[in-house]
Amino acid sequence: TLTAEQVAAAVAERIAAYKKPQFVDFVERLPRKENGEIDRAAVKATHG
C-alpha cells in the first residue's frame, strides 16, 4: 500500500520544492463528467 510519505519522497526527487503539493489525499474514485473527464469543480468542492 502506498503511503503519503512515499508519494512525498517520490515527488521530492522529481520536481522543485516550491512545486510540491502541501498534502496528499487518497480517494477511492474521482468524480467524472458525462464525457469521462475529471470534474475538477466537484473535486475542489469535495476535497478542497
Which amino acid is residue 47, in one-letter code?
H
Measured from the Cβ of residue 39, the count of other Cβ atoms closer than 10 Å reads 15
pLDDT tens for the 48 residues of the chain, in order: 899 999 999 999 999 999 999 888 899 999 999 999 999 999 999 877
Predicted TM-score of the model (pTM)? 0.60
| DSSP assignments along 1-48, one per residue | ---HHHHHHHHHHHS-GGGS-S-----S---B-TTS-B-HHHHHHHH-
CA distances from 13 to 1, 9, 35 (A): 20, 7, 34
Going from N- to C-terminal start, the domains of the chain cover 4-47
